């Protein structure tokens, strides 16, 4: 009887463990065992108004929503370029007389962490940065493979630059939470959407994040509702985030759910009082 009890407990524990781990934890496979046609790529090229443009790529086996991340090894590399497909560059071109231009315009991506508004985005990410002076160029992201067919031509351009301002800001950068707050962007860019969100951090430990609101960029401004600003106590810092984005073209060698996006992000932190 005691032996039967132990076997039953072990069986129940095994069922519980399998139930908890089957879908909750991403698996990792090394790249040589995955055909290019079975790889989904999620690619982001982003500029925040700083000194650099960031290129970030996540690869997955199957669809982009699968839970199997790909680890690049054995000569498989990701490259980002502002001078076209890096696998087809002619090293006798005038460009290559200037080694600094090579290092700035053709980058090999390294494994790292992706953050959006300082939030970590899960998954295995590969990233590189290039000088902000190249942000008006077309970005080409290439998966170059050791023994599989390449996917060299995922291409995107960034949306136009913009800046944001807050109408109600005083000289001391303080606004009242008793009234609306107007965020304005300039210049407006017809044909692009604008997403506005907010992140709240108060002196008493309260935190909050507002859901993103999607607008037509031509609107030029958005009035944050008063109810978004109330319900907090003490002094608070609210970081307003604004984003425009555009969709590029992914290399057809990738799985069909792949995509590449170009992003412009801007933030403005304001101090608020009750």
Under a CB-based contact definition with an 8 Å cutoff, are residues 93 and 73 in contact? Answer: no
Point out the domain boundary residue: 157, 180, 198: 157
- pLDDT of amino acid 104: 77
Which CATH number characterizes residue 51's domain? 2.60.40
Q: Give residue for tokens 């985005």.
A: 121
How far is 252 from 151, CA to CA, in rounded Å? 7
Point out the domain boundary residue: 138, 157, 176: 157
Task: Check whether residue 146 and residue 243 sit in a common domain.
Answer: no
Give me the number of domains the chain comprises: 2
How far is 127 from 137, CA to CA, in rounded Å? 18
Return all residues near 262 (Cβ < 8 A) that are at least 6 apart.
Answer: 44, 45, 46, 139, 156, 157, 158, 159, 245, 246, 248
Where does 50-115 have alpha helices with state H? 99-105
Is residue 9, in this structure, part of any structural domain at all?
A: no
Task: Check whether residue 114 and residue 182 sit in a common domain.
Answer: no
Point out the domain boundary residue: 111, 133, 157: 157
| Chain centre to alpha carbon of residue 55 | 9
Residues spanned by the domain of 44: 27-157
Task: Check whether residue 40 and residue 152 sit in a common domain.
Answer: yes
227, containing H or E segment: helix 226-229
Residue-by-residue pLDDT tens, the chain, 274 positions: 434 434 443 434 343 334 343 344 689 999 999 999 999 999 999 999 999 999 999 999 999 999 999 999 999 999 999 987 777 666 556 555 555 566 678 899 999 999 999 899 999 999 999 999 999 999 999 999 998 999 999 999 999 999 999 988 876 678 888 878 899 999 999 999 999 999 999 998 989 999 999 999 999 999 998 888 888 888 899 999 999 999 999 999 999 999 999 999 999 998 887 7
| Chain centre to alpha carbon of residue 49 | 15
């Amino acid at each position: 009887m005691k032996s039967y009890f132990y076997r039953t407990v072990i069986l129940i524990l095994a069922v519980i463990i399998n139930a908890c781990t089957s879908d909750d934890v991403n698996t990792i496979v090394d790249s040589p065992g995955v055909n290019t046609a079975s790889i989904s790529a999620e690619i982001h090229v982003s500029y925040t108004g700083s000194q650099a443009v960031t290129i970030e790529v996540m690869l997955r086996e199957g669809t982009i929503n699968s839970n199997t991340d790909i680890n690049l090894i054995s000569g498989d590399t990701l490259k980002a370029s502002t001078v076209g497909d890096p696998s087809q560059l002619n090293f006798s071109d005038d460009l290559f007389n200037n080694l600094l231009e090579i290092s700035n315009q053709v980058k090999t991506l390294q494994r790292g962490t992706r953050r959006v508004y300082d939030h970590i985005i899960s998954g295995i990410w590969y990233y590189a940065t290039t000088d902000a002076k190249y942000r008006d160029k077309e970005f080409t992201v290439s998966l170059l493979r050791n023994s599989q067919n390449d996917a060299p031509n995922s291409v995107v351009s960034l949306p136009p630059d913009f800046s944001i301002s807050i109408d109600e800001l005083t000289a001391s950068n303080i606004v009242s939470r008793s009234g609306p707050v107007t965020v304005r962007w300039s210049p407006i860019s017809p044909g692009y959407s604008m997403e506005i969100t907010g992140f709240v951090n108060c002196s008493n430990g309260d935190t909050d994040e507002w859901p993103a609101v999607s607008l037509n960029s031509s609107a030029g401004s958005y009035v944050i509702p008063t109810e978004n600003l109330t319900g907090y106590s003490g002094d608070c810092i609210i970081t307003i985030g604004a984003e425009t984005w555009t969709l590029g073209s992914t290399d057809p060698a990738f799985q069909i759910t792949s995509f590449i996006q170009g992003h412009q992000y801007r933030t403005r932190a304001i101090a608020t009082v009750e």
